[in-house]
Amino acid sequence: LKTEYNFFRDIHEVPPLEEDKKLTRSAQLWAEYLSTAPGRICLHHSLYGGENIYFYYTSQNITPAELAQKAVKAFYEEIKYYDFRNPGMVWPAAHFTQMTWKSAERMGVGIYTANVPPGESHGGCNVRSSERFPARFFFVVVHQWPHGNIMTPHYFARNVLKPKNPPAHLDFAWNGNVTAGEGEEGGEAVSTTTALPFFPTTNDISSTPPSRRSPVANKRKRAGNEQFSASN
């Protein structure tokens, strides 16, 4: 996923992000937590600044590279909502602006996947599985540092730059809340900024991410679940 992320950052002529072990761990812990979190909300945030989340399900096989492409594509296509002539926070473009934020330096990716037993559903994501078409879901969490989407226009003007070679239109649609059928798949992306806007503070210039204790720090992985590689 880092490769895909940096591909689009390069289009905007901003530096590539380097992988960070602490960010990778915090992202992985939150991805695991989301897979077991109760309640009616499909995706919710750890309140970690600079967090993008993507949820995906399918009844078909998918490779780590394909999952990475789908997640980053979902984030980047929000460029269509952003007006470079009027810099500032645009909620529907929050993933895009977070991902291409110029001053970001490091990132970590967590990916967690599991099967949905036939006849059951997965919490608020409302993905249902059947004997004929067993569903599999994925949670992709990206943590970046320093975080982007700081809620003042001049920060956006300095950090969200026009693409040097605008890519062709990227089609993306959310096809959730259905029983997985043959060939069916769906994805949904959500950014921290949809829940918690950020304003510049003295911590924003720190080079070290703040430590945080995950609610799943001691959670054991459930049998039969596996992790995808986040290096694609």
Give the model confidence (pLDDT) of 7-22 as tens digits.
999 999 999 999 999 9
How far is residue 216 from each of residues 18, 24, 46, 70, 222, measured CA to CA in Å? 25, 14, 11, 26, 12
Residues 6+ apart with CB under 8 A from 198: 49, 147, 149, 150, 151, 192, 204
**Residue at token pair 């993008």:** 52
Residues 40 and 124: beta-carbon distance below 8 Å: yes
171-212 pLDDT, tens digit each: 443 322 233 344 445 554 444 333 333 333 333 222 233 344
Contact 1, 75 (CB under 8 A): no
**Pairing mode of beta strands 135-145, 18-19:** unpaired
Beta bridge partners of 179: 128
Looking at per-residue confidence, does 173 or 125 come out higher?
125
Q: Which residue has the higher pLDDT, 41 or 170?
A: 41
**The pLDDT of residue 216:** 39
**Residue range 107-112: mean pLDDT, rounded:** 96
pTM of the model: 0.74
State both tokens at 72: 């980053």
Burial environment of residue 93 by CB neighbours within 10 A (0 to 12, 13 to 18, 19 or more): buried
43-86 pLDDT, tens digit each = 777 777 799 999 988 888 899 999 999 999 999 999 989 999 99
Count of other CB atoms within 10 angstroms of residue 117:
12
The dihedrals phi and psi of 54, each to the nearest 5 degrees, come to -130, 135
Q: Which CATH class is domain 2-205?
A: alpha beta
pLDDT score of 196: 35
